[in-house]
Each structure stands twice: as C-alpha cells, then as structure tokens.
Structure 1
C-alpha cells in the first residue's frame, strides 16, 4: 500500500536502536516471531494487542516492528496516543492504507469518546483493507476504562500478549547483547552501574547505551564507569 502523504499525522521519530532481535522477554513466547512475520508482510493474524505495566517494553516493541517493516519495504506508522493532543482524531482517516499500523497507549484515550470512536472505525477499515494493526495498552481490553464497548470488543479481536517486567539479570543480559551488536564491550560492573544510577526501565537503559555508543565512537574511548559518568552527566 502507498499512503497519501497528505493524510499522515504529525511525524513521530522512531528509536533507531529499537530492534526485535534485541528485545528480551521475561518468559519465552511466540510474540517476537509473530511480530517479525508481521513486519515482513507474512502475518497470520491481522490484529495483535500488547498489554503490560509501564516499562514492560510495549513502546519499544511497536517501534521495533515499524523499523523492521521499513527494512522489508512495507509502509508503517507508529502513533503514540500520549501525543494525541498534537493532532486531531481526523488524522486516523486513511491510515488503513498502511501495511502496518502501531497504536501505542490506548488507555490514554479513556474519557475521550471522539478518539475511541475514531479508533473503532479504524479497526473496521484495517480489516477491510487487509492490513495489520498492533495496539498496546496498560490493561487487557476487558479491564480498560473505555466508555465505548464496541471499541473494547475490537481490541479483543485477534491475539493478546502480556508483557512481564524482566529481572535485573535479564536487563544486564539485554544491555550486553545490545552492546555486542554495536561492537561494544559492556562488562557486568558497568551494566549494573547503569541500572543503579539511572532509570531502571530498559527502554531508558538502551537510550543510555545509544549515547555511550555515539560518544565512544566520537572520542575513541572504551566503555568505563568514569566515561559513562562524563557522557551521561552523572557526576
């Protein structure tokens, strides 16, 4: 599908470091292979719903799927509903032209019947157009505080996956795997320092690693705690 640029909402920059193969699950599940297939245009299920607490990786995964779709040559869009105040609900019109749509934070439209109705109709149009729609929220569809029962019904279409928080050891492994993919060496001491000193959310931790990677290349420095303090401003 080739979307009309006139219908695109406000541009949202994707995390360049968001990749499906870098995501660490608390427990093995078929989710990552399923998302990878969707990003290649080989989805067996057109509707996927992700739910979990803040920091469980929902936003990271949705951006990773869009990045993977771009590599595959598919059209995709990532729409975080936390930023919906910057564009009107009419921006949903025509989004079914995308091969893959990722709507992040459906719980954010609690109390906003216009956005709830807009998303409800988008579900129907995506179904008719044969696209893929992946939506995230903090609760299961049944437990969301949405006024529009029809939307809660649509959110329950397809498959639903719960994202569980990962342990500190798993966060260390995730950081080291990401560092290795970048050609960096991140020892246990530095990885645990990042966890203890900064935000404990993995998405933020990966942001620290992105900053360290760029600074390491620029200054030709190895990753150490003193260097991390300097780059991240943790004096």
Structure 2
C-alpha cells in the first residue's frame, strides 16, 4: 500500500465496485479500471471526464476507483470540490505527484475563478509528471459556465463518458444488492414500494436504506412496508 497524503477526505466503506450496480454503465466501469491500470504519458490518455445527473452514482464511482487504485498499489486521492472550495488553493501544490487524482463535482468551481485557474494548473502539472486525473461533473464541460476557456479545453482533452441513470427496475435491483450486503431481507414488494416513493435518484434511495437500517437496529424491528411508512413518514 502506498503512503497516504496528509489530508484524507473520508471514503464510504460501501463505495466499492462490488457494491455498485453498473447496469448500462458496465463498459464505462471497465474502461475506468483499464485507465487506472495502464501507464501512459500521452495527455489525452491521462485525463478522464465523467458526467451524469444528480444521484447517478458519480461520487460512488470515484471513491470505488480510489479503493481500486489502492488495491493496485497506486497512490490515489479523492478530492470533493465542495470541500476544496473551503480550502486554500495552495493545498493542491504537490498533488501532481499523486498517481491518480479523483476530483468530484468539478462544476462547483464555475463561480470561483481562482479555483478554475488552480485546477487548470494542476492538470498541467499532473500531465508533466506523467500522472492521471479523473473528473466528474453534472454535465459536459462545454455546457458548464466556466469563465476560464483554457480549463474547458483541458477537461475535453481526455476520454469523456456519460454515467447513465438507472431506471426503476434497475434501482430495485440496486436496492436489493445493497440490502443483501447489509444482511437486510428485501422482497420485491418492499423494494418496489421504496423505489416508487423515493426521489428518482440512487442517492435518495440509498439514504433511505441507511435510515431504515439504523432505525430497525435501534427499534429491533424488521423492515416491512408499515415500518417504512412510519420511519419515512410516507
């Protein structure tokens, strides 16, 4: 295992590929793993950009890649933009020596010219060092209101892939998979009830599962439809 950086942005324990329901995104996941494992000093093969809607699983994918890189003995660092914005841009100095950077929600920098310049400079330093960066955002880079055109150009250099949202049947399968991982029985009827009443994104469904899991342990009750109605006020 490679030495870790001094500032650690917490990774969710369940944010692994074993707990990710890929569905129509399996080709993307396979390409990401290959991207991490393959050495390259060609700029277009050192950058990777993923875009998808809210709750599609972008943060899960980046954190899973961080776990995956660690298994491959590569020094990786997960960097959520919402937390970077509260820090000094000087924090990024030296990050170019990390073999893999994973920057989440890069669109959040659109209102911060100094952070746009910081990320642009970081990309250039990473490329010079022969290392890689994977970005996520809510839409393609040229559809984000960045004020630094050079940053948009850099973000478009590498591979660009959409992360597809799951349909209701796929969300039910995802919920069942995550429930099984926690040892929670999940019937088709119960999964259907939860999915149809949650907001239509993965994050909301998994947040619901977290809450139900905690409350069921606290009250020592099985998760049933009446229990879900009570806990979630549905």
Q: TM-score range by the shorter chain?
A: 0.7 to 0.9
What is the rounded CA distance, in whole Å, between the counterparts of 2:189 and 2:146 in structure 1?
45
Q: Which runs of 4+ in 1 moved over 6 A?
A: 217-220
Task: Tell me what 2:124 maps to.
Answer: 124
Which residue of 9, 13, 19 corresponds with 2:10? 13
Which residue of 32, 36, 41 corresponds with 2:33? 36
By how many angstroms is 1:194 displaced?
A: 1.9
What is the rounded CA distance, in whole Å, between the counterparts of 2:207 and 2:73 in structure 1?
26
- Secondary structure of the 1:154 match is helix
By how many angstroms is 1:146 displaced?
A: 0.9
The TM-score normalised by the length of structure 2 is: 0.83
Task: Tell me what 1:22 maps to.
Answer: 19
Q: Return 5+ residue gaps in structure 2 as ranges.
A: none
Matches within 5 A, 1:1-235: 2=3, 5=6, 8=7, 11-25=8-22, 27-38=24-35, 41-42=37-38, 45-213=45-213, 222-229=222-229, 232-234=231-233
8 Å CA contact 2:25–2:164 kept in 1: the answer is no
Aligned residue pair count: 229
- Secondary structure of the 1:134 match is strand
The TM-score normalised by the length of structure 1 is: 0.83
By how many angstroms is 1:152 displaced?
A: 0.8
What is the rounded CA distance, in whole Å, between the counterparts of 1:66 and 1:117 in structure 2?
25
What is the rounded CA distance, in whole Å, between the counterparts of 1:96 and 1:213 in structure 2?
40
Aligned-residue CA RMSD (Å): 2.6
Change (3 A) 1:43 1:51: farther
What is the rounded CA distance, in whole Å, between the counterparts of 1:94 and 1:132 in structure 2?
14
- Secondary structure of the 1:165 match is coil
8 Å CA contact 1:2–1:98 kept in 2: the answer is no
Per-residue CA deviation, residues 172-197 of structure 1 (Å, 9 max, x unaligned), is 01111222334433111211222234
- Secondary structure of the 2:111 match is coil
What is the rounded CA distance, in whole Å, between the counterparts of 2:207 and 2:93 in structure 1?
33
What is the rounded CA distance, in whole Å, between the counterparts of 1:38 and 1:159 in structure 2?
10
